[in-house]
Amino acid sequence: MERKATIVWDFDGVLAEAGKWEGHKKIGPPRAKWLNVLRWLHADGMTHHISTCRLNPNPFGKGADPDVLSGLANRCVRMWLHDQGIAHIFSEVTGMKVYGDLYIDDRMPLFSVLDDYDKPEDIYELLLEELAMRADTIKTTVEV
């Protein structure tokens, strides 16, 4: 059985608009074109994770974040995902680094290029091309 790609998504700046930090309860509005791309990639059978600094228990080495440790931050992110109708898509929502075949993060050069496209269809097609170029490293055999 061939494994589909695993995509790791950043949260703020990719799925949600990034703005001035106002705490864990304040999350920006959805970035519609990226939510569309996510939904299409999910429909293709790919696995998705979120890795976000918002859920890191020790962000930027500034000490423990009580809202992360208490679970408040995670509940806020999950509620936002639920409100957008995409919570079911993610296998994992974490503040830690996780394995992925492709990372979609607003701090990476590829994102800047893709984000300039107005049509989500164009972004989707370019990501499929990127994944096709990585196909040999993605293919694995899974014993059933």
Write the pLDDT tens digit of every residue in 20-43: 989 999 999 999 999 999 999 999
Q: Which residue ranges make up each domain of the chain?
A: 6-138
Write the pLDDT tens digit of every residue in 116-138: 999 999 999 999 999 988 877 76
Locate the DSSP E strands across the chain: 6-9, 47-51, 90-94, 102-104
Q: How far apart are CA 123 and CA 111, in angstroms?
A: 10
Write the pLDDT tens digit of every residue in 85-118: 999 999 999 999 899 999 999 999 989 999 999 9
90-94: strand order across its sheet: 90-94, 47-51, 6-9, 102-104
| Beta strand pairing call for 102-104 and 6-9 | parallel
Q: How far apart are CA 138 and CA 136, in angstroms?
A: 5
Domain covering 6-138: architecture: 3-Layer(aba) Sandwich (3.40)
